[in-house]
Amino acid sequence: MNIEIDDKSGFCFGVVRAITEAEKALAGGGTVYSLGDIVHNRIEVQRLEELGLRTVTHEEMPRLAGKRLFIRAHGEPPTTYREAERLGIELIDATCPVVARLQKRVVRAHEEMRPVGGQVVILGKRGHAEVVGLTGQVEEPTLVIEREEELDLLDFSRPIFFLSQTTQSIALFERLAEGMRRRAANPDDVKVADTICRQVSNREEHLAAFARRFDVVLFVCGRKSSNGKVLYEVCRTANPRCHNIEEAAELRPEWFAGAESVGICGATSTPKWLMQQVARAVASLTDNPEAAIPRAGEKAGGGQTDDNPADGKAGDSQTGDNPADKTTGSNHTGGNPAGGKA
Ligand code: SF4
């Protein structure tokens, strides 16, 4: 059985940065509290919990006075910062710079729409932490839409400023932008800022090509991962024998019937060590334990720490994989954080 791990899958720049910050804080001993899962990957969260990280909710903030509280890559609305200050909580802020720029961009979009009676619309998942952080930047309402049918929620007689959560699909964003221009009373009154992070979207084409090369594809990611949903769909469309798993325990022998090759890939929140663990499990399941599981630097490379979660490293060879270097595609208003301008 030929088993290959995609060398471009795994943690993005923002997640590597957040996990590295958390590890640094934990290295000094004591507990660090994280406001929500530090990464949408249960297995990686468990690993960090073993090092002293505790995941808490906003409701638990009042009992954290004097403690260290970690803000993850998704960011938080200003109310969280004010609340932490009031309660005497020490914040460790690991908001991804791409998200931080987008937060400012949302504020500017409202400033632009306010005098002309326009509306700010975001393509995003309602209730997702990043989206809560974005809509919480201003007091006026920001309309969040998830799919094309929700275009009906817009008032097409008024100007529109349209942006996106960083991890959404470019294809969906473009379809929605097109729909807005078509339905707007004045198409020139629709401003479109493609703020999708290229750490996600740049992977789409590559992943589709990767998925087509194998008999079976395993897409490893946490069920809560937004970019995981988008990228899994890309793989599944390219190869119907694609399975989405969180960990090796979910593997089913029947998936590999008649297969000669298995490709393993994942989301921006999937640690490399987890994909390597899955690769080893596939090798033993398919009765081929000596199937080469590439070591770091070989085919499976990509750098995020090798196979041992106990090593406690998020891996850093992707840290230089700065989204600012990854801009592609259209950028209608020049506001793309991936382009570093938002
Ligand atoms: S996907 Fe992009 S915006 Fe999200 S954490 Fe990674 S680098 Fe930051």
Ligand 1: centre distance to CA 322 (Å)? 9
Per-residue confidence (pLDDT) for residue 127, from 0 to 100: 93
Ligand 1: centre distance to CA 10 (Å)? 12
pTM comes to 0.78
Q: Which domains does the chain have, with CATH numbers?
A: 2-11+200-316 (3.40.1010.20), 13-95 (3.40.50.11270), 98-197+321-328 (3.40.1010.20)
Tens digit of pLDDT per residue, the chain (342 long)?
Answer: 899 999 999 888 999 999 999 999 999 889 999 999 998 888 889 999 999 999 999 999 999 999 999 999 999 999 999 999 999 999 999 999 999 999 999 999 999 999 999 999 999 999 999 999 999 999 999 999 999 999 999 999 999 999 999 999 889 999 999 999 999 999 999 999 999 998 888 888 999 999 999 999 999 998 888 889 989 999 999 999 999 999 999 999 999 999 999 999 999 889 999 999 999 999 998 876 555 454 433 333 333 443 333 333 333 333 333 333 332 223 333 333 333 333
Would you give the DSSP letter of residue 281?
A: H
CA distance to 9, 139, 276, per residue, from 3 (Å):
15, 51, 10
CA distance 69 to 21: 12
Residue with CA nearest ligand 1 atom 2: 197
Ligand 1: centre distance to CA 302 (Å)? 17
**Ligand 1 pocket: which residues have CB below 6 Å?**
12-15, 73, 96, 98-99, 166-167, 197, 199-200, 227, 268, 323
Would you give the DSSP letter of residue 184?
A: S
- Give the number of other Cβ atoms within 10 Å of residue 92's Cβ: 17
- Residues recorded for the chain: 342
Residue with CA nearest ligand 1 atom 8: 14
CA distance 184 to 207: 35
CA distance 115 to 93: 33
> What atom in ligand 1 is closest to the CA of residue 98?
3
> What atom in ligand 1 is closest to the CA of residue 96?
8
